[in-house]
Amino acid sequence: MSFPRVVSVAPGSPAEAAGLLPGDEVTAVNGRAPRDVLEWRLLVDDEDPELDVRRSGIDRTTVVEKRAGEALGAAVHSSVFDQVQTCDNHCEFCFIYQLPKGMRRSLYLKDDDYRLSFLYGNFTTLTRFTEADLERVILEGLSPLHVSIHATDPEVRSRMLRNRRGATSLRWLRALLDHGVTVHGQVVVCPGVNDGAVLESTMAGVLDEYPELASLCIVPLGVSAHSTEAAMRPHTFDEAVAVVDTVERWQEIYQRLLGRRLAFVADEYYLLTGRRFPDADAYEGFEMHEDGVGMARLFTEEFLGRRASTTGPQSGFFSWVDGAPAEGYRAPRAATTVTVRTTPHRAPVAVLTGSYGARVLEPLLADMDGVRVVTVENQFFGGNIGVTGLLAGEDLARALAGEPDGHRYLLPDVCLSEGRFLDGVTPADLPRAVEIVPTDGGALRAALAR
C-alpha cells in the first residue's frame, strides 16, 4: 500500500500554515491510513486533523488548524492508495485486450473498481463487488455509479464476461437501486452475441428488473486491428439500423410506462446508419455524453451558441489512468496549453479530428471561409476505431507531414493526457505547430474567431 503524496499546497490554506510541502507523504490522518482519496477527503474534513507526515524519510506529526468542513488545501497524487480492484472477467470484446504492444504500462491495467466508477465514470461489472463495498457505497453516498450490463439474461451475460459470476452479479445492481444509489447502465452490443433477440430481452429485462436506472447507453463494439478474437467484428449497416430501431421502439415504451426515455444509442450508431442525430431535448440532460451518447448534438448546440459550454477541458480516452485529477473527473481540470510555434494572425485554419468527428464538424464548418477539416485516419489502432480521443501522435504526425506551413492547426484536448498522446508522443514532436483547444463547441467557435 502506498500513502497519499502531496503534489501541491494552496497559498494561504490551512495546509500551508501547518507547513505541508509538495513531496510529503501522509501516512495517517487521525491515526488512520486512508485507502483512497474518498477516505482522505472524509478524514481531512474534520476539525484540526492530526497528520502523520513522512518527509525525506523522517516521520513527524502535525495538527492542521482548520474548521470542520474547511478545505485542507493540499492536493494528493492519486485517487487510490491501496490496490486498484482489477477485473477478473475475460470479455472477448474488452478494448484493453485490443491495445497494441509498447504503450505505457498503466494503460494495460484492467479495473473493475467501484471507486473508479464513482470518481471517473468507469464501468464496473460488479463481479468483484461485496457486502462491504455495498455498505461503503451507501454510508458514504458514492453516487452515481456506472454498471456494465451487456445482457440481463444470466447465461448470456456470464458467457460474454467469461466469468460464472456474471450470471449473478447483477443482484448488486438491484441492491444499489434499492438503496437509492443513482446508476447509469451500459450495453456494449456485439454482433451475433447480444444484439437481435438478446437485445430485445435485455431492454425488457431492464424494464422488469431495473426500471430505476438513471440511464442506459447502448454502444457499438469497437474492434481494433490488434484484436485476437475472431468472433468480434464491426456492425454491418443493417445490424446498426436494427439496433437503432430496437432502442427507439423501447424508448417509446419506457416513455409511456416510466415517463422518460431511459435508453439511448451512442452517436456512432447514427453515423453508421446515416441518420440525423436526435434533437437536444431527446437526450434528457446529456447525462451520458462522456460515453458518446449525445456528444455530437451537445457539441453542435454549443458551437451554434444555443447552449453554454459545460464540458470544459478534457483528457484522453484513458483519462482515469493518466492526467485526471485525483479528486475525480468532477474536480476542476486545468486546460492543456501547448505553445510550439506561432502562426500568422488570420492564417488559414485546419481542424484536426478523427473520422467520426469529421462527419460532425464538416457540416458546421462548411460555410466558413478559410476553415477546413483534416480527417486523421487511425492506423495506430486500426479496425473500426474512428473516435478522436483515440488518435495517436504518430497518426497526427503522418497527417500533418503533408500539410502546408503557416496554417493554424487546431487539435481537441481529448487527444491528450498529461500533455501526451497515447503513444507517448507530445505536441512538440509533431511536424507542424498545433493549438490545443478544449473539446467543446463553444471553445472551437472562440478559437476560430481569433
Final residue of a structural domain among 257, 273, 293:
293
**How many CB atoms lie under 10 A from the CB of residue 250?**
22
Which residue carries 437503432 as its cell? Answer: 244
In this structure, the answer to whether residues 181 and 257 fall within a common structural domain is yes
pLDDT at 366: 93
Whether residue 211 is preceded by a cis peptide bond, meaning omega within 30 degrees of 0, is: no
| Amino acid occupying residue 251 | Q
Per residue in 327-376, pLDDT tens?
A: 654 554 444 444 444 555 678 999 999 999 999 999 999 999 999 999 99
Final residue of a structural domain among 293, 321, 336:
293
In a domain, residue 249? The reply is yes
Per residue in 256-281, pLDDT tens?
A: 999 999 999 999 999 999 999 999 99
C-alpha distances (whole Å) from 438 to each of 11, 312, 415, 444 are: 27, 6, 10, 7
In this structure, the answer to whether residues 283 and 226 fall within a common structural domain is yes
pLDDT at 108: 82
In a domain, residue 210? The reply is yes
In this structure, the answer to whether residues 274 and 125 fall within a common structural domain is yes
In this structure, the answer to whether residues 70 and 165 fall within a common structural domain is no
Domain containing residue 159: CATH number: 3.80.30
pLDDT at 337: 45
CA-based max dimension of the chain: 66
pTM: 0.90
Residue by residue, DSSP assigns 315-365 as --TTTTTTTS-TT-TTS--PPP---S----TT--EEEEE-HHHHHHHHHHH
pLDDT at 327: 60
Burial of 378 (0-12, 13-18, 19+ CB in 10 A): buried
Domain that holds residue 249: 96-293
In a domain, residue 340? The reply is no
Count of the separate structural domains present in the chain: 3
In this structure, the answer to whether residues 116 and 33 fall within a common structural domain is no
Per residue in 54-94, pLDDT tens?
A: 999 999 999 999 999 999 999 999 899 988 899 999 999 99
In this structure, the answer to whether residues 54 and 158 fall within a common structural domain is no
Arithmetic mean of pLDDT over the chain: 91
pLDDT at 311: 58
In this structure, the answer to whether residues 272 and 365 fall within a common structural domain is no
Which residues, listed in sequence order, are joined to residue 188 by a DSSP beta bridge? 219
In a domain, residue 329? The reply is no
In this structure, the answer to whether residues 144 and 272 fall within a common structural domain is yes
In this structure, the answer to whether residues 58 and 126 fall within a common structural domain is no
The β-bridge relationship of strands 215-220 and 183-189 is: parallel
In a domain, residue 83? The reply is no
| Amino acid occupying residue 210 | Y
> Which stretches of the chain drop beneath a pLDDT of 50?
313-316, 320, 329, 332-341
| Amino acid occupying residue 90 | H
Final residue of a structural domain among 274, 293, 312:
293
In this structure, the answer to whether residues 286 and 191 fall within a common structural domain is yes
Which residue carries 491528450 as its cell? Answer: 416
Measured at the CA of 307, the angle between CA 312 and CA 249, to 5 degrees, comes to 100
